[in-house]
Amino acid sequence: MQRSPGGGGAKGGDVSPRERDLLEATLRVIGRSGIDAVTHRAVATEAGTSLGAVTHHFAKRDDLTDGALRFAVRREMTRLDALALALQEQAFDPPRWIAQLVGWYAAELRTNSETHIACYEAFLAAARHAQFRSLVEDLFAVWKRSAALAFRAAGADDADAAAAIFVSTLMGLLLRQLAGPRRSFQKETEATLGRLFLALTASGSPARGVAGK
């Protein structure tokens, strides 16, 4: 995304507190109504600010949508990197790692579901518009990188391949919960991912030969 003349932008690096508020408002609009619902006026209403304040920071509509989705990806990256760092600072305990991962997402889907729906909206956008495809690849890479560290710590034969399978499963489970919330989500998801993790770290697991797919 190109920075708007005379305005802010969200490509890489940190954003100002004001830009953060506007990007979070944009994500809520996307989460409720989809990317096509994003307008400067809709974001201004959601953020409780003036139209001029939005256009000052993001002159173009595409700046808002692109900036908001990239902001969401960086947010995911920060959290997952923190979990990955924790893996390197303590003896690796797969059940504990899975519990932390699922626990965070369970809380997020209860209190901040619109932001995560917006991330899945990026997948739909990428299917229609090439400009969003690199963003989706970045999002998957963030998830996969964190999971691969866990599988390496557990001694998996092919950590990258195992991570790809694990992350694809996690993404599907999160999407299912967003589509139809269940009270049993956290317990069931921890159990499902725990069984999958054991299967993928077993000798001769089906993860062999899947790397890069």
Cα Rg of the chain, angstroms: 19
Query: What's residue 124's pLDDT?
Result: 85
Query: What's residue 81's pLDDT?
Result: 74
User: Nearest to residue 199, comparing CAs of 102, 94, 106, 83?
Assistant: 94
Residue 194 CB coordination number (10 Å): 15
Take residue 92 and report the two structure tokens written for it: 């690796």
Query: What's residue 21's pLDDT?
Result: 95
More confident residue, 165 or 36: 165
What's the CA gap between 10 and 97, in Å, rounded? 31
The DSSP secondary-structure symbol of 170 reads: H
Query: What's residue 204's pLDDT?
Result: 54
* Per-residue pLDDT tens digits for 8-62: 444 444 788 999 999 999 999 998 998 889 999 999 999 999 999 999 999 999 8
Mean pLDDT score of the chain: 84
Confidence of residue 207 (pLDDT cuts 50, 70, 90): low
> Is residue 6's pLDDT more than 60?
no
What's the CA gap between 31 and 119, in Å, rounded? 8
Q: Give all domains of the chain, ordered by start, each with its CATH number.
A: 17-201 (1.10.357.10)
Neighbouring residues of 202: CB distance < 8 A, sequence distance ≥ 6 = none
Query: What's residue 132's pLDDT?
Result: 83
What's the CA gap between 207 and 163, in Å, rounded? 9
* Per-residue pLDDT tens digits for 107-145: 999 998 988 888 888 888 888 888 888 888 888 888 888
Query: What's residue 209's pLDDT?
Result: 46
More confident residue, 208 or 68: 68
* Per-residue pLDDT tens digits for 173-206: 999 999 999 999 999 999 999 999 999 998 655 5
The DSSP secondary-structure symbol of 13 reads: S
* Per-residue pLDDT tens digits for 145-156: 889 988 998 899
Q: Answer yes or no: are the C-beta atoms of 65 and 30 closer than 8 Å.
A: yes
